[in-house]
Structure 1
Amino acid sequence: MNCAAPSDDPGTGWTAEAAEAVETMAALWARAARSTSPKVSELQLQALLAARAEPHINLRALAEAVGAAPPAASRLCDRLEAAGLLRRGPAPAGRREIGLTLTTQGHDVLDTVGVRRDELFGAVLSRMPDAARQDLLTGLRAFGEASGPCRHHDDDGCP
């Protein structure tokens, strides 16, 4: 799938407006993450989400998922483990590999963030007209579909 913008792009205005809207959504998401105890950074939240999505994820895969070098990901895991949110142990794939698993407290943090995120997003969405909410949902679905393989920066010509 070619993810490059078409050469006849109507202008960067759309891109700038979309980026601004996404920044607003990201700020709401970050606010939800700050509502946890212990508090987690955006990078820590990404790591916890990756560990939930792929139980027993190894360090290399976690580093790729959060866009960090393995040594930085290892330090990130050290902090999450010290906070009681993540546990290291033998991976099911082999004893030579370390798997990362969320603890009960890690799951609780993600649940808390999810509830708070729903509250924050719900409050904003409730102030929008019905038609605008539907347009937003339609647009977000189309954006997700258009991102296709780009979502993970595969070697398919995507940025």
Structure 2
Amino acid sequence: MEFTCKTVYDHKTLAAMSKALRKTMRKKTTWCEWLLFLGLVVLALGTVMDTSQSIWRRGIYLTVILLVLFLQWKGDYLDALFAMRKTPPGAEVHRARFYPDYFETEVAGVQTQWQYAKVHALVETKDYIILILGKNHAQAYDKSGLEGRSVREFCGFLSRKTGLHVQTFLR
């Protein structure tokens, strides 16, 4: 059984990969960040509500609150933006072939073989199947670019080969 997939690594793809990494490999770090930011927001709100503070200081702390909330809300979007800036020209299109013993990716004419044992987590989103290969490394495969069989069969194949359960994040 062989599967092939073509994926364009655009902003949407990179944001989905960032979200998958955040919800799997970086889960503990994410909670620590949320607690730190929540503490910062509470302290800043205390200063904003204190009428004895100058209007400039209250404005600065209100700006800090808005900035922290924006960073938490759009973190995956910003991660994707920075990842796109690091992507070399011509490396936007990824092709992959999945064989029984390994899978092979081709980016800008360079082929790399990967063992299924290197996969730490499998994630399914609305549009992608994402293989998590480390804390900062993932590969996304567009469901619409999948050839060979159905998405369900592909997920089952990956689950059998890696020994991992497919985590679903459809939002």
Structure with bigger gyration radius? 2
Structure 1 or 2: more helix by fraction: 1
Structure 1 or 2: more strand by fraction: 2
Shorter-chain TM-score range: under 0.3
TM-score by length of 2: 0.23
**Bigger relative contact order, structure 1 or 2, given CA contacts below 8 A and separation 6+?**
2
